[in-house]
Amino acid sequence: MNFGFRAPNQGPNATPDRLTTLVKRGEELGFGIVTVSDHIVMPKSIDSTYPYSETGASRGGSETMEMLTILSYLAAVTSKIKLLTSVMVVPHRPAVLTAKALSTIDVLSKGRVIVGCGAGWMREEFEAIEAHEFDRRGAVTNEYIRAFKELWTSDDPTFDGEFIKFSKIHFEPKPVQKPHPPIWIGGESNVALRRVARLGDAWYPIGMNPTYPVGTVAQMSESLSRIRAFAEEAGRDPAEICVSYNVTWNND
């Protein structure tokens, strides 16, 4: 069993010296994973409902550093700990550029990247950064993950989708991990669970907190049953899919 902790990308501890001290000490203590959350901008007015709080309000501040840049920094100051995007909002960044950044970090870290993926929840942030239409974010996420896999595994990557197309390109270097870095899918909706079953190596829910959508043992069990059914429907062996709980608590 691996235990992880979050590296802050906002607030007083999100400085080079404090990030370095925190993550190096965590690695020395035997933690297996460090996570970084994902926001590019924080809109001044947010009406979207944050799905992981009782009030629906996000606790995020106005300042936030970019996730993939932090992971690259952490790769340089550590040697063993896994580097997890927790979770990357897949539609926020161009697919080919994102695949290249993740592949580069995997090479620089000697194979320590875990790609936690989600479709996102904040409409206002999608609009602010001119990402794909918010209401199509699930379809975009699915297609981008398929494009990542094509870029990471094919010697002649080609993709002809609704949101991304590429062909006749070199995509090197490939990630160190084969066939590609593990893909952990966040989310608890039926759409997310289907994404786990069809595209993921692991389900990565926020779990074991009764205020969250799958916070009880019974809810977790029911969701796992749905993943198994969706995997069988997609022709996958459910045993191929792991579960990694994202357990959080409030220290206020």
For position 207, what pLDDT does the model report?
62
Average pLDDT over residues 181-201: 96
201, pLDDT greater than 50: yes
| Amino acid found at 224 | L
Share of the chain above pLDDT 70, in %: 92
Predicted TM-score (pTM) of the model is 0.93
Q: Are 203 and 184 in contact (CB under 8 A)?
A: yes
For position 212, what pLDDT does the model report?
61
Average pLDDT over residues 10-33: 96
For position 214, what pLDDT does the model report?
60
For position 252, what pLDDT does the model report?
34
Q: CA 169, CA 100: separation in Å to the nearest integer?
A: 13
Residues 6+ apart with CB under 8 A from 94: none
For position 151, what pLDDT does the model report?
98
Q: CA 163, CA 139: separation in Å to the nearest integer?
A: 9
For position 16, what pLDDT does the model report?
97
Per-residue pLDDT of 124-179, as tens digits, reads 999 999 999 999 999 999 999 999 999 999 999 999 999 999 999 999 999 999 99
Give the number of other CB atoms < 10 A from CB of residue 189.
Answer: 13
Q: CA 26, CA 36: separation in Å to the nearest integer?
A: 14
Average pLDDT, the chain: 92
- The residue among 107 and 57 whose pLDDT is bigger is 107
For position 108, what pLDDT does the model report?
98
251, pLDDT greater than 60: no
Q: What is the DSSP string of 72-87?
A: HHHHHH-SSSEEEETT
User: How far is the first Cα of the chain from the last one, in angstroms, to the nearest whole number?
Assistant: 28
215, pLDDT greater than 90: no
For position 232, what pLDDT does the model report?
97
Per-residue pLDDT band for 249 (boundaries 50, 70, 90) equals very low
Q: Are 202 and 244 in contact (CB under 8 A)?
A: yes
Per-residue pLDDT of 65-78, as tens digits, reads 999 999 999 999 99
Residue found under tokens 């993950």: 145
| Amino acid found at 162 | E
Per-residue pLDDT of 43-89, as tens digits, reads 999 999 888 766 777 766 788 999 999 999 999 999 999 999 999 99
Residues 6+ apart with CB under 8 A from 4: 31, 32, 33, 34, 35, 82, 84
Nearest in space to 10 (alpha carbons), one of 55, 61, 51, 50: 61
